């Protein structure tokens, strides 16, 4: 069920009415769980059983990791079970295509396995729960698992299946989510915060991302082979804006809907395109995934505690695995390795310097370096998105080749894709205002009249939405 569909709006409204009714308040977690099952079963009824099985496995593993003997064994088995489910359903096709004959036998069978929606996100949520529960056994003050297994099962089911974050995050931590499972009151809803998150989220998705996809499709093979260099570069810029608007839009909608039910989901995007280094970029882009990889993978394999060379290796390895998590294609792994390499080189060359480029001393040179660094990081990040648009690695390489060889194709920039610039302006403005938020003219003439911008966004949602499409991260 898509967030940008009327059936979803109806589900949310009906659930809110039942959820806050005086005679059903004691059943609020069960109501949310029922709504989550309906939400997921709308598109994947048979795979709902897998979602429920995943939640039960994680409830049992996390409970055993706290209260039963051989706690380490329960934690280990829980993590293995999550990874096994993720590998079987997400990577069977990739492994079959790489190592087996896909035209017969087990190779063909593996290519027919469906990809459950949101499997990457709910398995990561399960892994974090199991690890946090095991760590809580070692630290009694960090304990998150109640003594009652039935209560823990209920909490875990809601944590894993909570429909606003189910398909594409944000990836919330169990200790934060469990602490909020309590009776909610209609009067406690922060309507202003929820409204702003929903309007901005739907604007980014329906007006920006959905309109841009009608132009960036020219990046697909074989269309890009017949387009001029300027057209290809403009499409790459458009896709960079599109993927931000699409995923940031989803996260904001999830945060806004969750707030209607009294739950706070963590911020997932924080103006990533003003980053002056790759380190900063990953503190602003898909923040909850970055934190997950940092806490549960990077630190677990040694982090920066085993010397400079090992630190660089750990960075590249962490980002490579993070890239492969995004999709069952080698180009996703290359994308992750690319970012890992950028982080490693940046750390080696720049150390802890804020800007990845430093031209000189003095106020002017520092400011110039800062802006050039932002531009440089944005350009490399935008180039990296090519591996998302073209998951076949050979096609991505061909696209790069065409950028350098198609300069003689006329027109250099196809006039039909110039609207990319128009739909990119709001995203650049969004970052620009935040970048200058402390300046008096922004405080006086922009921030004080933000209701005007939200009114305009709401109007454009109703009048200028693009072709409705699923969210980019649903494929992960």
Enumerate the active-site residues.
Answer: 326
DSSP character at residue 266: P
Count Cα atoms within 13 angstroms, Cβ side, for 192: 2
N- to C-terminal Cα separation, the chain: 16
Give me the numbers of helices (H) and strands (E) for the chain, helices first please: 23, 0
Specify the residue for token string 């970012």. 339
Specify the residue for token string 């429920």. 52
Query: Which residues, 6+ apart, have CB-to-CB distance to 125 below 8 Å?
Result: 58, 159, 160, 171, 172, 174
Q: How far apart are CA 384 and CA 371, in angstroms?
A: 20
Q: How far apart are CA 97 and CA 107, in angstroms?
A: 7
Specify the residue for token string 């499972």. 181
**Structural element, H or E, at residue 378:** helix 363-384
Q: How many CB atoms lie within 10 A of CB 105?
A: 11
Q: How far apart are CA 1 and CA 7, in angstroms?
A: 8
DSSP character at residue 445: H
């Amino acid at each position: 069920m898509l967030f940008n569909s009327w059936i979803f709006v109806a589900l949310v409204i009906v659930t809110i009415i039942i959820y806050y009714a005086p005679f059903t308040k004691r059943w609020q977690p069960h109501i949310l769980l029922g709504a989550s099952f309906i939400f997921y079963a709308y598109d994947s009824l048979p795979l709902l059983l897998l979602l429920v099985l995943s939640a039960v496995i994680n409830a049992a593993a996390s409970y055993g990791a706290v209260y039963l003997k051989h706690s380490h064994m329960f934690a280990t088995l829980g993590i293995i079970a999550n990874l096994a489910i993720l590998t079987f359903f997400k990577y069977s096709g990739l492994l079959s295509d790489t190592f087996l004959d896909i035209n017969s036998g087990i190779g063909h069978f593996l290519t027919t396995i469906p990809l459950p929606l949101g499997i990457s996100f709910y398995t990561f949520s399960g892994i974090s729960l199991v690890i946090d529960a095991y760590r809580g056994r070692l630290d009694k003050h960090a304990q998150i698992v109640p003594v009652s297994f039935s209560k823990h099962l209920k909490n875990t089911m809601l944590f894993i299946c909570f429909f606003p974050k189910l398909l594409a995050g944000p990836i919330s931590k169990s200790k934060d989510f469990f602490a909020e499972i309590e009776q909610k009151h209609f009067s406690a809803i922060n309507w202003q915060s929820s409204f702003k998150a929903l309007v901005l989220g739907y604007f980014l998705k329906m007006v920006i991302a959905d309109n841009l996809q009608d132009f960036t499709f020219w990046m697909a093979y074989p269309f890009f082979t017949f387009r001029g260099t300027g057209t290809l570069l403009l499409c790459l810029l458009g896709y960079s804006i599109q993927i931000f608007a699409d995923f940031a839009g989803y996260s904001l909608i999830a945060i806004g809907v969750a707030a209607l039910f009294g739950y706070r989901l963590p911020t997932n995007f924080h103006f990533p395109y003003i980053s002056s280094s790759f380190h900063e970029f990953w503190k602003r882009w898909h923040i909850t995934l970055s934190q997950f990889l940092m806490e549960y993978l990077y630190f677990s394999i040694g982090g920066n505690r085993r010397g400079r060379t090992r630190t660089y290796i750990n960075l590249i390895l962490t980002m490579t695995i993070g890239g492969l998590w995004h999709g069952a294609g080698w180009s996703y792994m290359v994308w992750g390795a690319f970012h890992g390499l950028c982080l490693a080189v940046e750390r080696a060359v720049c150390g802890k310097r804020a800007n990845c480029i430093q031209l000189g001393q003095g106020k002017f040179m520092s400011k110039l370096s800062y802006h050039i660094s932002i531009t440089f990081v944005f350009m490399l990040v935008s180039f990296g998105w090519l591996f998302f648009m073209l998951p076949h690695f050979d096609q991505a390489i061909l696209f790069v080749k065409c950028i350098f060889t198609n300069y003689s194709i006329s027109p250099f920039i196809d006039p039909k894709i110039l609207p990319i610039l128009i739909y990119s302006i709001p995203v650049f403005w969004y970052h620009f205002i935040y970048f200058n938020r402390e300046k008096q003219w922004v405080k006086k003439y922009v921030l004080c009249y933000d209701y005007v911008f939200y009114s305009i966004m709401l109007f454009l949602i109703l009048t200028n939405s693009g072709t409705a499409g699923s969210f980019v991260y649903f494929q992960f």
